[in-house]
Amino acid sequence: MKKDKNNRLNNWEKKFVKEVKIEASNEFSYETDEGISINPLYTSEDLLNYEFNDVNSLPGEWPYTRGPKASMYTNRPWTIRQYAGFSTAEESNKFYRKNLEAGQMGLSVAFDLPTHRGYDSDDEIVMGDVGKAGVAIDSVEDMKILFDGIPLEKMSVSMTMNGAVLPVLAAFIVAGEEQGLDKKVLSGTIQNDILKEFMVRNTYIYPPEPSMRIVADIIEYTANEMPKFNSISISGYHMQEAGANNVQELAFTLADGMEYVRAAMSKGLAVDDFAPRLSFFFAIGTDFFMEIAKLRAARTLWARIMQDFGAKNEKSLTLRTHCQTSGVSLTEKDPYNNIVRTSYEALSAILGGTQSLHTNSFDEAIALPTEFSSRIARNTQLILQNETGVTKTVDPLAGSYFVEKLTEDMCSAAWKIIEEVEEMGGMTKAVAAGMPKLSIEESATKKQAKVDSGKRIVVGVNKFKNPKEPKIDVLVIDNEKVREDQIKKINSLKEKRNNDLLKEKLSIITEAAKNKKGNLLDLCVEAIRARGTVGEVSKALEDAFGRHYATNVGVSGVYGKFFEKDDKFMAIQNKINNFEKENGRRPRVLIVKMGQDGHDRGAKIVATSFADLGFDIDMGPLFQSPKDVAKDAIENDVHAIGVSTLAAGHKTLVPELMKQLKALDKSNKIIVFVGGVIPEQDYQFLYDNEVSAIFGPGTSILDSAEKVIELISKK
């Protein structure tokens, strides 16, 4: 039998090499970004000698590779979610109601950046950020408006929140109470994976250790008081969005989970008392089979991890996951292609066995999603549920030689990283040392280099380009109007409340945070009931914990090595060298993020790749004001400022920067260029404000660098 099989394989090999005109089939093998080798053929031989994956397991059975439940999705399909959070609680509430009527089954709430960062809308530091990238929540009164007419006892609510998680979750609890509901009936989750924030997204407030205490207190409170609420959603999504490869996303997410289990156990909780309420959140990118294998591998490894923690309850051993189609795969160029990308990413998540899914709208690379684009995104899932037959069979790809081998390879590669993290003392220590952050930034830079060099095809961006870009309607938020309305509501709240009572509640929070006694969520619920604002409660905690400020450490040489003999790369280097000869120094560029947006992937990639080209690069710290940036630019004597913008702050923060520069730089020598998620409709506005160049998503680094050195040379 073995001999016969070998003969058949030999015959296949002969046919393959003849057809493709090569010496051996392994010439068609390739290595993924994860370091996993992909072969042109897989057979039953590839199912042998696995350490992690049991190919004979069944759905709902240890190690849950084939799904957390025996019946999925034959009995009940996955939950359809749609992200929403637009400017004000009133507008978001209208959007929710429409979506629920149109077939959505759960709510996913995105809060604006000031809310994340623990600032009220009336704080001068956030004047350019309010309502731009989500819904502004300053108090329980906003939360009550947000969920007005929505039965919270029936509706699962997922909230993306990290820095100011305590007052926001407290406001949700109090809003439910004031709907007449016991907190025991509230269901959903809060995506409070704070360790991930220190790696990639940066919407933290407090340092790592007190942040972990907050997580532990939330787990303790929800375990005792809110049995239907998932206390934490541990998020790999934002890692992939920041450029992590699939193995990094898988490994660091599970390692985060392990750290949260330890944090909860440190509160005296038995593992089976809280673990059934932990959930995970993964991104689903364009590598179809890799993403399927990632979800299967995640369940396999988590079952093993939880067994090591002594879990006995089946629900503790079972990884439950929500997925979202990738944000980083969306392109500004030829944006209707995003509908196709989102569709097959969604199918990948489903075949991987997700229990909840959010599909991105095609215009999210340009602006906030419109009602039209959200409908298409939601219908993507409805079509998959109702028209394709994918819900009829549990784990239909099980037994695929390729998928099973890929699942094992993912397990093995991720486990090596988890072991490395454990050797460092766990994820809190690894994060403090900067290991995950740097490895993800290196991965992100490699990905960008591959796109710019043409080694990775992105349809409509670096190949098969559309000569005529379609015009896309975008959602426009009047930031000033939103902020004015929020300030009115804050002032009204403060006039009506008992300020002495609130002062007492806030001082109790600060004291409890200092002496490590009491449950902080419990105390924050009391303060929110007394009509404390998100900013006031956050400040009470900050008085005890302090505020965390990250240091910038970039990678070097990663981008440049993909262009060692590239004509364009070398031409730009020559221009930079000529500039140095003529001016006695290299062109100096300050790369910055302004406002409260902590997504620094784009800024980091531009900074490191520009440095590889030969620019002198300064990297501004996160959360700077326009005034701070202008001051740094003058003091550092830079030729140009590169502004990275994602959260629609370009219409508020960039004009302010230009104003501050004019006040400080009478010679007007510094040029300003802007990159990021900027709708084409806004380009003229920025040019009118004297911005020299605009680089939208998908712009090649080489193209932007060439333009910048030309502008600097002319100045």
3-state SS assignment for residue 476 = coil
Distance, CA of 651 to CA of 654 (rounded, Å): 6
Which is catalytic among the residues 196, 333, 505, 593?
593
Who's near 446: CB < 8 A, 6+ residues apart? Answer: 33, 558, 559, 562
Which is catalytic among the residues 204, 206, 237, 260?
237
Distance, CA of 219 to CA of 225 (rounded, Å): 10
**Does 83 participate in catalysis according to the annotation?**
yes
Which is catalytic among the residues 64, 83, 96, 206?
83
**DSSP labels for 495-518?**
HHS-HHHHHHHHHHHHHHHHHT-S
**Does 322 participate in catalysis according to the annotation?**
no
653 conformational bin, left if phi > 0, alpha if psi -120 to 50, beta if neither:
alpha
Distance, CA of 636 to CA of 185 (rounded, Å): 56
Who's near 22: CB < 8 A, 6+ residues apart? Answer: 28
Which is catalytic among the residues 294, 405, 599, 650?
599
Distance, CA of 459 to CA of 297 (rounded, Å): 29
Apex 301 CA angle, 296 and 305, nearest 5: 150
**Does 639 participate in catalysis according to the annotation?**
no
β-partners of residue 641 are 590, 672
Which is catalytic among the residues 238, 358, 405, 639?
238
Q: From the centroid of its chain, how far is CA 709?
A: 32
Assess contact for 89 and 135: CB atoms under 8 A: yes
Distance, CA of 200 to CA of 197 (rounded, Å): 5
| Element counts in the chain: helices (H) and strands (E) | 27, 16
Going 14 to 18 to 23 to 28, the CA torsion angle's sign is: negative
> Where do runs of H (alpha helix) occur along 391-470?
401-423, 427-433, 435-452
Assess contact for 183 and 155: CB atoms under 8 A: no
Assess contact for 376 and 339: CB atoms under 8 A: yes
Which whole-number Å values give the CA distances from 470 to 375, 475, 502, in the listed order? Answer: 19, 16, 53
Who's near 587: CB < 8 A, 6+ residues apart? Answer: 576, 579, 580, 615, 616, 639, 640, 708, 709, 712, 713
**Does 593 participate in catalysis according to the annotation?**
yes
Q: Which tokens go with 574?
A: 């020559």
**Does 73 participate in catalysis according to the annotation?**
no
Tell me the three-class secondary structure of 60-92, residue by residue.
CCCCCCCCCCCCCCCCCCCEEEEEECCCCHHHH
Who's near 116: CB < 8 A, 6+ residues apart? Answer: 134, 161, 162, 163, 164, 203, 596
Assess contact for 667 and 634: CB atoms under 8 A: no
Q: Which tokens go with 662?
A: 């004019």
Catalytic residue positions, numbered: 83, 237-238, 593, 597, 599
